[in-house]
Amino acid sequence: MNEPAIKISNVSVKYRLAKEKPKTLQEYVIHRLKGRRIDYEDFWALRAIIFEVDKGETLGIIGHNGAGKSTLLKVVAGVLKPTDGNVKVTGKIAPLIELGAGFDMELTGKENIYLNASILGLSKKEIDRIFNNVVEFSELGEFIHSPLKSYSSGMISRLGFSIATEVDPEILIIDEILAVGDERFNKKCMERMTGFKKSGITILFVSHSMDEIKRLCDRVLWLDHGRQRMFGDPKSITEEYQKL
Q: List pLDDT tens digits, range 45-75.
A: 999 999 999 999 999 999 999 999 999 999 9
Domain boundaries, the chain: 6-242
Which pLDDT does position 16 carry in this prediction? 82
Q: pLDDT by residue (tens digit) across 170-220?
A: 999 988 766 666 788 888 888 999 999 999 999 999 999 999 999 999 999
Q: pLDDT by residue (tens digit) across 81-96?
A: 999 999 999 999 988 8
Backbone φ, ψ for residue 219 (5° rounding): -140, 165
What ranges make up the beta strands (E) of 97-218? 171-175, 202-206
The kind and range of the H/E element at 124 are helix 124-138
CA distance 57 to 185: 24
Which pLDDT does position 20 carry in this prediction? 64
- The order of strands in the sheet holding 58-62 is 84-89, 6-18, 40-53, 227-232, 219-224, 58-62, 202-206, 171-175, 93-96
Q: pLDDT by residue (tens digit) across 101-149?
A: 779 999 999 999 999 999 888 999 999 999 999 999 999 999 999 999 9
241 pLDDT exceeds 80? yes
CA distance 57 to 234: 13
The model's pTM is 0.84
- CATH numeric code, 6-242: 3.40.50.300
Label residue 213 exposed, middle or buried (CB < 10 Å: 0-12, 13-18, 19+).
buried
